[in-house]
């Protein structure tokens, strides 16, 4: 009984079988990032730390936009 696989056995894995699982997660992540960036752009004059939030949204993938919507939308200056 062999419990581990070598690099030569990676070609036997069917990656298209994982596509129905990975694709919806990637689409939801992309929509979250796009929505957060659009909201940040529309309210850029009233937000503090716009550049920091842009970096967090882009590089923290799914967690970044969620943090922005929970914490970042409260971080605004009164006009």
The pLDDT score that the predictor gives to residue 43 is 86
Two tokens at 7? Answer: 């690099």
Residue 77's pLDDT is: 58
Q: Of 27, 26, 39, nearest to 65 (Cα)? A: 39
pLDDT of residue 70: 87
Q: Check residue 30 and give its pLDDT.
A: 92
The confidence score (pLDDT) of residue 34 equals: 94
pLDDT of residue 11: 73
| pLDDT score, position 13 | 75
Q: What is the distance between the terminal CA atoms of the chain, rounded to a whole angstrom?
A: 69
pLDDT in tens, 3-61: 566 777 777 777 788 888 899 999 999 999 999 999 999 988 888 888 999 999 999 88
């Amino acid at each position: 009984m062999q419990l581990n696989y070598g690099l030569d056995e990676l070609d036997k894995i069917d990656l298209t079988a994982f596509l129905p699982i990975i694709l919806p997660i990637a689409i939801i992540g992309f929509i979250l990032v796009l929505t957060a960036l659009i909201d940040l752009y529309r309210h850029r004059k009233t937000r503090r730390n716009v550049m920091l939030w842009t970096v967090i949204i882009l590089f923290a993938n799914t967690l970044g936009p969620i943090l922005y919507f929970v914490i970042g939308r409260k971080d605004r200056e009164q006009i």
